[in-house]
Amino acid sequence: MLEHSLFVRLGRFFFLRDRRFRRVFLRASFRFFSFLIVSFVLTGFLSQIGDFYYPFQPQPAIAQVSVDNQAGGSFTDAAGNPGAVTSNTTTIATAGSAGLTIIKTADRAAVEPGDVVVYRLLVRNTSTRPISPITLEDRLPLGVRYVENSFTAAPLRIRSSRINGRTFTLEFGNATLNPGDSFTVAYAALITPDAVRGNGRNVAQASAPGVISTATFRLTIRPGILADCGTIVGRVFVDKNFDGEQQSGEPGVPNAVVFMDDGNRIVTDVDGLFSIANVISGNRVGTLDLSSLPGYTLAPNLYRLSDNSQSRLVRLEPGGLARMNFAVTPAFGEGQEQ
Amino acid sequence: MKFAVGMVTGAAIAGLFPGLVAAQTSPETLPAVRIVVNSPLDGPIQPDGALTLREAIAIANDTLALDDLSVPEQAQIEPLAAGEASTIVFNLPPEETTIYLTAVLPDLAAPGLVVDGTTQPGYGATRPDLPEIPVPVVSLTPAPGREVFRGFTVSGPGVTVRGFSLYGFWSRDRATKTTPPADIFIASAPPPADSSPDAPPIEFFNLEDPEIAPQQVVIEQNWLGVKPDGTTPAQRSAFGVSIFNSVGAQVRNNLIQNHEGSGVITGYRATGLALVGNAIIGNGVAGIPDAVRLEGDVTEATILNNLICANDGSGIFLFKPEGGTLIQGNDIRFNGRRFERAAVYVMGAGHQILANDIGYQPGPGVAVAAAAPSDRTLIRDNRFTQLQGLSIDLVTQNNASIQDFQRGDGPNPPRNSRQRRRDTANGAINAPSFDRYVFDRGGDTVRLVGKADPGSEVDLYRVVEDAGVYSPLAEPMMTVPTAADGTFEAVWDDPAGGWVSAIATNPEYGTSEPSPVIQILGTDGTSPDRPSPAPYLATCLADAEPEAPAPPRAVTPDPIRLRIPRNIHFALDRSDISPESAAILDQIAAALLDYPSLVVELHGHTDPRASVAYNQALSERRAIAARDYLVRRGVAPERLRIVPLGESQRRSQGNSRLDFARDRRVEFIFTDTQGLNILFEDLETDLQLE
């Protein structure tokens, strides 16, 4: 962030009207950037000096060499003669490009609650000037907690660290980062269950006087053991002893179709097995599509009345596993009406 | 006394758990008796004037004491010498030879029991088209309005069932189906129909011990699923012979027809099954469609010299069996009436399919699965005719789609990796390839040279049909070995030319798919024409041998002129035949009976409303209903083929009720197998508006 200051001397008359002032302002020539007036300060009529500033951000991607700036003002004297003054020209060297770059990575892309993730920050001086002092600021995602005393930095050494909630600030004292040099900071963070509610995105910022650079990194946060989804496994097989369970000698039926209550369609494999991951927990119902297995139909179960049904109801716990077996037997009497 | 708990309790247990009798009875202690059944009645066991079959079985099983019978009944029972097996013979009053069962008969549990329907006076007449299987006299069927789900239930070793007509054994749906109903069910512990408080404990089904399984059961000379007069019963039986758990069962010389499911189906174990000389016709019309469905342990099962014809699915389907089977000398024709499956579909290892006649199938001849590991399937000396697919189709690359498990996947590319050996049936043995597609005649003989997998034998087949690059292997000609580098050479010395295809067999892997057909020029520089399709007659029984191709007709015959409608229409969401449609079907049946060379495809259609899947099933039900009507009018099922088309081919364009009524139809696509033209006239007298 730079501040330009524009000094306007108003001559004998300390009479300044807003309108003229605006004219003064508008005649200032701003090149290369759209200006943004944040505020202006008029130090006082008696001082006859108006002092106002506007901030701007250098545009790091543009390979410019310098930013020239000049302001001008006009006035009308007591005799009614117009006059004009121009300021000196200020020139800001852009030092090649932005001074600092920062890259943030982690040792994994996806985490579950309970995991420890190691973040690594790489700060590089890409300018042609030494940079000092450097401050690093990092804001961790929701539910990700810094592991104490895990900061390591090389080759620069951390002089002070402040942790404020999810934000910490590292300072490196008077250490200087020479052009082209870089240093790394690594630290560990614990994924707490709260992380599931957040977006896993954090922002690190390296700053030095006159330069600032940010980097973001996003962790994919999986619910892990806190998932409320479960898994359903099952099989479709030819039942020989009518107990609804598959024993040896009871082959699986390939290409049988099972429909879930949410419309999912699952096809059994060569061995008659199927599985469904990430099933929302609760009472789930699956049903065998009999038209998918011409020649077979549901087998009677001589022992469990509840299995004498085309559908299976399972109560799936969050993160749990439920079984949905369909016993079939060679069909007869298909397609009869009444 | 065999039951420590006493006879009454023993009988009660036998009633609840019929198989327990077999488990608890030691064979030696049963007295041998000869029992004459002289009453066709059925009902509770009670002392009355004549002996019923139910009482006879109970006596043979020794679950009924002689004292519980009346004196005239006791007179029908004659003790035999020790060591002989009990026999149940029949002396029913003439004209009262149908036994209407009111409940499932007791198990045939006595070891060596012979239940012999051929002893009924008057037995022995035969039908001319079925000389080996005499017409039975004694019939067993459920009493009207009663549901009896099994005819004979065999649980004892060495039991013989001979010379009966069994039909109508079926069960209604409960929440699910019942356990398999069948005309004849063979198991040591036959499961009850459904769950009930009396359901036996799980330990009851000791399926694993082969010692308990009934050994050497013989089922012969029965007509299953068909009345003695040859007609289809009003209620079809569910399955024919269900060999659920048995060792060395012999099923021979039976007529097995008209079942809703398979004619012969195995369950847990059918080791050493001998299925010999049966006529298995028109089964699978409303259930598992394959004529012979083998599952479970079928080690050393043999299927010899059967006629397997006009069934709805495959002729023989081996679904994940254990052990190898021998399939030899069968005549497998006109199957796939409803599902376009392979005539013989094989999973598992070590099967031999030898010297069968396989033809007229809307699918490949023999298909071998890949996904359920299948290798060392030897397929040799078979004759194939009129297939829609390869003669031998080895599924490759672990293909496991629905098609691959019913029909196969077409010609395989040559093996390009040793991994193919594991993911392709029969170890991915390469089909032989000839050096040229056309062999010129250099001298008196032609050297046919080509390449096959080293170590294999190459069988050359004559090809007579023109069905494209891969035509059915019509007739085995010669077998030549391969050299160490895989080249083979055969000599063609017929002065006439011909068409040849070849398969390679390596006992280590099995038999390959056929090579593309090659042409051999005769001395006159030409080859015989390959007719497409050759004329044939769609019939199962008229003569068991596939007849030689009819000689070309000398004069152009008159076309058949059919003045009949070719559509029947249905009410909304219905598949039953209306009286108007029945009148049309009568005309169609009459035309089919008039012209034996006509065959029909029944295309089922629906209107466009409701889901595609629902309409597909509805159109199939409509076509099945129409076919069932025609079959009951005497049209042979081998002439009717079902093609359900769902809502894919509407008749009309619009959306009015009339348009929809026109859409709801079954179309009859007539074809003349002798190549005659047919002239049609359209009629529409049975539209049913909503």
Q: Which of B72, B77, B80 has the alpha carbon at shortest distance from B36?
A: B77
pLDDT in tens, A157-166: 888 888 888 8
Assess B312–A contact: CB distance below 8 Å, yes or no: no
Distance (Å, whole) CA B13 – CA B417: 61
User: If you search the block for the tokens 């023989």, which residue do you land on?
Assistant: B316
Option in A249, A270, A303 nearest B296 (CB): A249
Distance CA B374, CA B370 (A): 6
CA–CA distance, B284 with B338 (Å, rounded to integer): 9
For residues A79 and A105, membership in a common domain is answered with no
Give the 3-state secondary structure of B254-306: CEEECCCCCCEEEEEEEECCEEECCEEECCCCCCCCCCEEECCECCCEEEECC
Cβ–Cβ gap A329/B621 under 8 Å? no
Query: In chain A, which residues have their Cβ closer than 8 Å to the Cβ of B296?
Result: 240, 249
ipTM > 0.85 for the complex? yes
**Given CB atoms, is B129 within the 8 Å cutoff of chain A?**
no
Q: Which H or E run contains B621? A: helix B612-632
Using alpha carbons only, what angle is made at residue A17 by residues A14 and A21, rounded to the nearest 5 degrees? 95
Q: Which residues contact A148 (CB under 8 A, 6 or more apart)?
A: none
CB contact under 8 A, A305 and B179: no
| Residue B338 pLDDT | 92
**CB contact (8 A) between residue B176 and residue A309:** yes
- Cα–Cα distance between A217 and A109 in angstroms, integer? 9
B313 contacts A291? CB cut-off 8 A: no
**Domain end point (choices A93, A109, A144):** A93
Beta carbons of B177 and A240 less than 8 Å apart: no
Interface of B with A in 483-542 (CB under 8 A): none
Chain center to CA of A190 = 17
Choose the closest CB to A291 out of B180, B286, B613.
B613
Burial of A1 (0-12, 13-18, 19+ CB in 10 A): exposed
B436 vs A: CB within 8 A: no
Nearest CA in chain A to B319: A251
Q: How far is B57 from chain A (nearest CA, A)?
A: 26
Which of the four pLDDT bands, split at 50, 70 and 90, describes residue B425? very high
Rounded to the nearest integer, the mean pLDDT of chain B is: 87
pLDDT at A254: 92
User: Does residue B22 register a pLDDT over 50?
Assistant: no
How many residue contacts between A and B have a Cβ separation below 8 Å? Answer: 140
CB contacts, 8 Å: A302 with chain B:
179, 191-192, 194-195, 199-200
C-alpha distances in angstroms, A94 versus A100, A128, A132, A207?
Answer: 12, 10, 17, 16
Indicate whether A214 and A266 sit together in one domain: no
Question: pLDDT digit string (tens) for B609-629?
Answer: 989 989 999 999 999 999 999
Q: Among partner residues B175, B180, B616, which is closest to A329 by beta-carbon distance?
A: B180
Are A67 and A86 within one domain?
yes
Residues of chain B with C-beta less than 8 angstroms from the C-beta of A337: 574-576, 621
Determine the Cα angle at B334 with ends B330 and B336, to 5°: 105
B350-375 residue pLDDT tens: 999 999 999 999 999 999 998 767 88
Q: Kindly report, residue by residue over A15-74, the tens digit of the pLDDT.
A: 434 444 444 443 444 443 333 333 333 333 333 444 444 444 444 444 445 677 888 888
Domain boundaries, chain B: 85-194+204-405, 560-679
User: What average pLDDT does chain A have?
Assistant: 78
pLDDT given at position A28: 40
The range of the structural domain enclosing residue A40 comes to 2-93
- pLDDT reported for residue B4: 36
Tell me, yes or no, whether A124 and A12 share the same domain. no
Instruction: Determine what percent of chain B is predicted with pLDDT higher than 90.
Output: 62
Within a 13 Å sphere around the CA of B109, how many CA atoms are in the beta-carbon half?
Answer: 29
B638 neighbors B538 (Cβ within 8 angstroms) = yes
Question: Which H or E element spans position B584?
Answer: helix B579-594
Local structure of residue B668 (DSSP, 8 states): E
The residue among B522 and A14 whose pLDDT is bigger is B522
CA distances from B27 to B18, B22, B585, B669 (A): 16, 9, 56, 59
Q: Is B611 on the interface with A (CB under 8 A)?
A: no
- On whether any CB of chain A is under 8 Å from the CB of B290, the answer is yes
Residues A238, A144 within the same domain: no
DSSP letter (8 states) at residue B67: G
Residue A56 domain-assigned (yes or no): yes
Residue A326's SS3 state is: strand
Per-residue confidence at B325, pLDDT binned at 50, 70, 90?
very high
Mean of pLDDT values over B207-224: 92
Among B246, B212, B108, B213, smallest CA distance to B164 is for B108
Instruction: State the nearest Cα–Cα gap between A268 and chain B, in angstroms.
Output: 10
- Domain harbouring A153, CATH code: 2.60.40.1530
A243 & A212 share domain:
no
Strands of A66-218 (E only): list them: 66-76, 82-93, 100-106, 110-111, 116-125, 135-139, 144-146, 152-154, 160-164, 167-171, 182-191, 201-208, 211-218
Residue B683: predicted pLDDT: 66
Distance from the Cα of A337 to chain B's closest Cα (Å) equals 8
Look at strands B560-561 and B678-679 and give their pairing.
Answer: parallel
CB-closest option in B178, B296, B400 to A270: B400
**How many helices, marked H, and strands, marked E, lie in chain B?**
8, 46
The C-alpha of A242 sits at a distance from chain B's nearest C-alpha, in angstroms, of: 8
Q: Looking at CA atoms only, how far is residue B599 from chain A in angstroms?
A: 24
Is B207 in Cβ contact with A241 (below 8 Å)? yes
Transcribe A258-299 into DSSP letters: EEETTS-EEE--TTSEEEEEEEESEEEEEEEEGGGSTTEEEP
Calpha distance A319→A224 (Å, rounded): 8
Residue B34 pairs with which residues in a beta bridge?
B78, B87
Give the SS3 label for residue B667.
strand
Chain B interface test: which of A250, A293, A301, A302 (most B C-beta within 10 Å):
A302
Q: Please list every residue in chain B whose beta carbon sits closer than 8 Å to the beta carbon of residue A294.
A: 289, 339
Q: Are B395 and B411 in contact (CB under 8 A)?
A: no
**Closest Cβ–Cβ partner in B178, B400, B613 for A300:** B178
Q: For A309, which of B175, B339, B617 is closest by C-beta distance?
A: B175
Indicate the residue of B268, B319, B339 with minimum beta-carbon distance to A294. Answer: B339
pLDDT band for A94, please (50, 70, 90 cuts): low
**Could you tell me if B181 lies within 8 Å of chain A, comparing CB atoms?**
yes
B244 within 8 A of B209, measured Cβ to Cβ: no
Closest-CA distance, B371 to chain A, in angstroms, reads 6
* Paired tokens of A199: 């977006």
Residue B181 with chain A: CB contacts under 8 Å? 332
Q: Do B371 and A295 touch (CB under 8 A)?
A: no
**Does B355 contact chain A (CB < 8 Å)?**
no
Q: Which residue of A has its CA nearest to B286?
A: A334
Closest CB to B576: pick one of A298, A305, A337: A337
The Cα angle at residue B233 between residues B228 and B238, in degrees rounded to 5: 110
Cross-chain Cβ contact A334/B287 below 8 Å: yes
pLDDT of residue A65: 56
Is pLDDT at B549 greater than 70 in this prediction? no
pLDDT at B93: 93
- B377 pLDDT higher than 90: yes
DSSP conformation class of A131: B
Q: What is the mean pLDDT of residues B110-123?
A: 93
Q: Tell me if residue B120 falls in helix, strand or coil.
A: coil
Query: How many structural domains compose chain A?
Result: 3
- Of the candidates B293, B295, B400, which has its C-beta nearest A251's C-beta? B295
B210-236 residues labelled b (16+ CB within 10 A) or e (exposed):
eebbbbbbbbbbbbbbbbbeeebbebb
Task: Look at residue A335 and tell me if it is in a domain.
Answer: no
pLDDT band at B557 (very low <50, low <70, confident <90, very high): low
Closest CA to B640 of B576, B589, B571, B581: B589
* Per-residue exposure over B17-48, b if at least 16 CB sit within 10 Å of its own CB, e if not: bbbbbbeebeeeebebbbbbbbbbbbeebeeb
Please name the amino acid found at residue A329: T
> Residue B503: beta bridge partners?
B459
Q: What is the DSSP letter of B377?
A: B
Judge: domain B85-194+204-405, CATH 2.160.20. Answer: yes
What's the rounded mean pLDDT across residues A143-155? 89
Q: Of B163, B169, B168, which is closest to residue B132 (Cα–Cα)?
A: B163
Structure tokens belonging to residue B94: 């003439």
Mutation for testing the A interface, residue in B171, B172, B176, B259 having most A CBs under 10 Å = B176
CATH 3.30.1330.60 holds for B560-679 = yes
Residue to mutate among B17, B147, B195, B285, with most A CBs inside 10 A, is B195
Alpha-carbon distance of B185 to B18, in angstroms, equals 13
Same domain? A193 vs A248: no
B616's tokens: 């597909």
Cα–Cα distance for residue pair A258/A138, rounded to 1 Å? 49
A331 and B199 within 8 Å at the Cβ level: the answer is no
Q: What is the mean pLDDT of residues B487-500?
A: 90
pLDDT at residue B468, as a whole number: 87
Q: Does the structure show a pLDDT above 80 at A12?
A: no
Query: What confidence score (pLDDT) does residue B101 get?
Result: 95
Phi, psi of B576 (to 5 degrees): -90, 155
Tens-digit pLDDT profile for residues A228-264: 888 999 999 999 988 889 988 899 999 999 999 999 9
Q: What distance in Å separates the CA atoms of residue B599 and residue B362, rounded to the nearest whole number?
A: 14
Task: Tell me how far CA of residue A317 lies from CA of A120, A223, A230, B570, in angstroms.
Answer: 38, 14, 6, 49
- Evaluate whether B85-194+204-405 and B560-679 have a shared fold: no
Verify that A107 and A56 share a domain, yes or no. Answer: no
A237 occurs within a structural domain: yes
pLDDT (0 to 100) of residue A335: 67
Q: How confident is the model over B300-314, as pLDDT tens digits?
A: 999 999 999 999 999
Helices B612-632 and B579-594 cross at an angle (nearest 10°) of 60
C-alpha torsion angle, residues A119, A121, A122, A123 (rounded to 10): 180
Q: Is the pLDDT of residue B546 over 50?
A: no
Of residues B174, B202, B293, nearest to A330 (C-beta): B293
Report how far residue B426's alpha carbon sits from residue B163's, in angstroms, rounded to the nearest whole number.
Answer: 41
Query: How many Cα neighbours within 13 Å face the side chain of B147?
Result: 9
User: Alpha-carbon distance A318 to B522, whole Å?
Assistant: 77
Residues A66 and A80 in one domain: yes
CB contact under 8 A, A291 and B207: no
Are residues A108 and A207 located together in one domain of the fold? Answer: yes
Nearest Cβ partner for A243 among B202, B287, B574: B202
pLDDT, one tens digit per residue, over B510-532 is 999 999 999 999 888 888 888 77
A320 plus A252 within the same structural domain: yes
Quickly count: other Cβ atoms within 10 Å of residue B441's Cβ.
Answer: 16
In chain A, what residues touch B199 (CB-CB under 8 Å)?
A: 302-303
Q: Which amino acid is at A16?
A: L
Pick the last residue of a domain from A45, A64, A93: A93
User: Which of B173, B202, B398 has the CB atom closest to A241's CB atom?
Assistant: B202
Cβ of residue B261 closer than 8 Å to a chain A Cβ: yes
Asked if B672 contacts B557 with a C-beta cutoff of 8 angstroms, the reply is no
User: How many Å lie between the alpha carbon of A117 and the closest alpha carbon of chain B?
Assistant: 42
Confidence band (pLDDT; 50, 70, 90) for B470? Answer: very high
Sequence length of chain A is: 338
Cross-chain Cβ contact A333/B574 below 8 Å: no
* Bridge partners, residue B331, by sequence: B307, B357
Whether residue A163 sits in one domain with residue A234: no
CA A202 – CA A102 distance, rounded (Å): 13
**B284 vs A34, which has greater pLDDT?**
B284
Nearest to B347 by CA among A242, A329, A253, A293: A253
pLDDT for position B680: 74
Give dist(CA B642, CA B285) in Å, integer: 10
The predicted pLDDT at position B327 comes to 95
Give the separation between CA B245 and CA B249, rounded to whole angstroms: 9
DSSP H or E segment with residue B14: helix B7-16
Q: Is the pLDDT of residue A129 over 70?
A: yes
A298 closest CB neighbour out of B177, B575, B620: B177
Does the beta carbon of B574 lie under 8 angstroms from any beta carbon of chain A? yes
Assigned domain for A338 exists: no
